[in-house]
Structure 1
């Protein structure tokens, strides 16, 4: 008990009021509940599309301490980038605002479709990494350093990023 509460209780003790219970009038005691119809407007439910599409900015990166943290071969979800990786590895880093933990629609390990970069880089990617917190609505495509120097390095705007819904596997019950 705090000192202030003790002092308040000591200076102003609680009072008890003793009064006989009031009886309800006979008209109130004889009422029975009845059904009441209430009209509540129900808003129309929008159906979400099967694949959600987002417009983002795309860049490329390769695992080196200058572009990542001090452990460049380890991604944010704990995966280890293969030593002989290339753009065919199809791994993607997304900005934090696109991840579910920060209010976005995507999770680590989900497959997404990227369209609008180039024929070499468009396709399906698996989300494994997170970009620096300063980026918003961006994705980073994992490539090899040699590929970047050969022409795959760049920054592309108005890229379509779509969530791919997993296909249902038929199973006998």
Structure 2
């Protein structure tokens, strides 16, 4: 034996192992079948249904004739990039739909838009507001070169709830 092993044995002596026999009642049990009882089904919570608003949709450009004297600054102080397009997915809502004037939407909310066209339907972010004369309207930000001078009625919008992800 090596010296290290002798020292370890002296410092940490092995513990005796007790082997206990099973009690006679346990030793004579025969195996039995086990049936699994299914737990009662818990009803799944249905997703909360968010209100849908019907609005008239139009297109606006960052132009002083269509906005105010600072066309590249929105109502929430975001800056519109100079080479923007409708792919940016920014929108303006009429004041009756915005929270500062008693509505349900706030600046920065994501809104799902359906009923315009396959190209323009999707999720937009609210960054601007429209003139006070408009009611139940929305404007999609587009560039001059896109030539999207149209108006759509019966467009459906609904707020998109934020999706939380673990980081």
Offset of 1:170 from its aligned partner?
A: 4.3
Measured on the aligned residues, the alpha-carbon RMSD in Å equals: 1.7
1:5 corresponds in structure 2 to none
Find the counterpart in structure 1 of residue 105 from structure 2. Answer: 106
Instruction: Report the equivalent of 2:130.
Output: 131
Residue aligning to 1:95: 94
TM-score by length of 2: 0.70
Q: Distance in 2 between matches of 1:107 and 1:82?
A: 22
| Matching residue of 1:86 | 85
Cα displacement (A) at 1:69: 0.3
Q: CA deviation at 1:156?
A: 0.5
SS of the aligned residue for 1:157 comes to strand
Instruction: From the CA coordinates, give the structure whose radius of gyration is larger.
Output: 2
- In the alignment, structure 2 segments of 5+ residues that lack a partner are 1-46
Equivalences for 1:1-173 in 2 at 5 Å? 49-148=48-147, 152-170=148-166
How far apart in 2 are the matches of 1:114 and 1:163? 9
Tell me, which stretches of 5 or more residues in structure 1 are unaligned?
A: 1-47
Structure 1 length normalisation: TM-score? 0.67
**Alpha carbons of structure 1 residues 92 and 80: separation in structure 2 relative to 1, 3 Å:** same
| Alpha-carbon separation, structure 1, partners of 2:99 and 2:128 | 13
| Contact persistence 1:50–1:165 (CA under 8 A) | no
Aligned-partner SS, 2:77: coil
Q: Which runs of at least 4 in structure 1 moved beyond 4 Å after TM superposition?
A: none
